[in-house]
Amino acid sequence: MITIDYFKKLDIRLGTITQAVKIPEADRLVRLSIDMGSEVRQVVSGIAVHYPDPSVLVGKQVPVLANLEPRTIKGYESKGMVLYAIEQDAEGKERLTTMSPAEMFANGSIIR
């Protein structure tokens, strides 16, 4: 359990994916460019197995954990984390999908 004060420290914002490219030297990684309103951020995400053609993500508006400490993954700086819905079937196989608002909001809008 976390406290409400800890939760309030999370800066989750909407951004629109403008580019999605498989990182060739990594089986699972996709490099996303995400328009956050005031800037375009690069986020590296381990979703390639779920999105064999990552270009289908372009144009999707997604929630991004914006105040996550930057990290370099396979030589690419990742400045955030996209939040996904994940479920497992009876055999333990994962299914993953992006989450989007019911209607478009301004990029950078706060999620609470």
pLDDT tens-digit map of 50-80: 999 999 999 999 999 999 999 999 999 999 9
> Which range of residues forms the domain containing residue 14?
4-107
The terminus-to-terminus CA distance of the chain in angstroms comes to 18
112 found inside a domain: no
d(CA 91, CA 94): 9
Q: How many domains does the chain have?
A: 1
21 found inside a domain: yes
pLDDT tens-digit map of 27-57: 999 999 999 999 999 999 999 999 999 999 9
Q: Does pLDDT of 92 surpass 90?
A: no
CATH number at residue 40: 2.40.50.140
Q: Whole-model pTM?
A: 0.93
d(CA 84, CA 90): 20
CB 49 within 8 A of CB 97: no
